[in-house]
Chains A and B, each alone.
Chain A
Amino acid sequence: MPSVSGEFIAFFILAVMAIGGAVFMINFTRVMHMALALVFTFLSIAGIFILLDAEYLAMVQILINVGAVSVLMVFGIMLTRHKQEEKPKARPLHTILSLLGVAALFAVMWRIFYTTPFGGDPADPATVQSLGESIFKQHVIPLELTAVLLLVALVGAIILAKREESK
């Protein structure tokens, strides 16, 4: 970094919070603690969105990922019975192989990021107004398809989770 600006400090704090939440998610043993650590990560990602001039997306991220999805997952944890503590790994080979594969993927991505010239000046900050115009003028058909998708997901989830009638 050539100079330490406010944006850099904010980015650094938010990135550490996000990665810290994710690492705690991996390391905790209780399932509920894992879910709460991931909520922390989602909140930090909302902060990153604000840094990127996407305030509306940050609000959507908080409402949907921090609110709805996390509460849904907590419901899933509460409705299913499991051992409080997750067993320590009985498969060291599996863990090491997974770690190696993920590290290799990260190394490849890192190399690509630092060898590709990403040109371009930052765009003008997108306002909520321009976002709405873009959605409702150019992307109306995907929006309607998303509405249909949400309806299908709602009906499908109810049918899947419904208790089967005994005939």
Chain B
Amino acid sequence: MPVTSYLVLAAILFCIGLYGVLTKRNAVIVLLSIELMLSAANINFVAFSKYGLYANVTGQVFSLFSIAVTAAEAAVGLAILIALYRRRGTVEMDQFHSLKG
């Protein structure tokens, strides 16, 4: 299997996640799409840790740290979402426009 197949798979998943972030209105789904984009990045890390120019295990270590940061991001994002929901009574993204200039 050439490394290009894995990279294309990761690119497709990343693009679907990006499309979800741009078009979905429910904030929980937007958070899930961000998780999908981060997972796509992890596929790249692991693919290069096997097929890269200087292939070694560091790619997997980096991917582990990335997964840990992803989990922290999900927890904090959900906490912000709950706080916003308590204040505004909705999770629709286009209702959160108080920062709009």
Contact = CB atoms under 8 A, between A and B. Distances in A.
Interface residues of B, number: 71
Given A118-B4, A163-B86, A38 B35 contact: yes
Contacts of B11: 106, 109-110, 113
Q: How large is the interface on A (under 10, 10 to 19, 20 to 34, 35 or more residues)?
A: 35 or more
A134 B80 contact: no
A133 to B, nearest CB: 9
B46 A161 contact: no
A13 interface: no
Interface string A122-157: 110010001100110011001100100110111011
Given A73-B28, A76-B28, A123-B55, A131 B15 contact: no
Nearest to B51: A122
Residue among B22, B46, B76 with the most chain A CB within 10 A?
Answer: B46
Interface in B33-59: 33, 35-36, 39, 42-43, 46-47, 49-58
A146 B69 contact: yes
Interface in B1-30: 1-9, 11-13, 15-20, 22-26, 28-29
A131 B49 CA distance: 11
Contacts of B20: 25-26
A49 B46 contact: yes
B96 interface: no
B76 A157 contact: yes
Given A69-B71, A86-B26, A157 B19 contact: no
A146 B91 contact: no
B67 A60 contact: yes
Interface in A85-135: 86-87, 89, 94-95, 98-99, 101-103, 105-106, 109-110, 113-114, 118-123, 126, 130-131, 134-135
A156 B5 contact: no
A82 interface: yes
Interface of B: 1-9, 11-13, 15-20, 22-26, 28-29, 31-33, 35-36, 39, 42-43, 46-47, 49-58, 60-61, 63-65, 67-76, 78-83, 85-86, 90-92
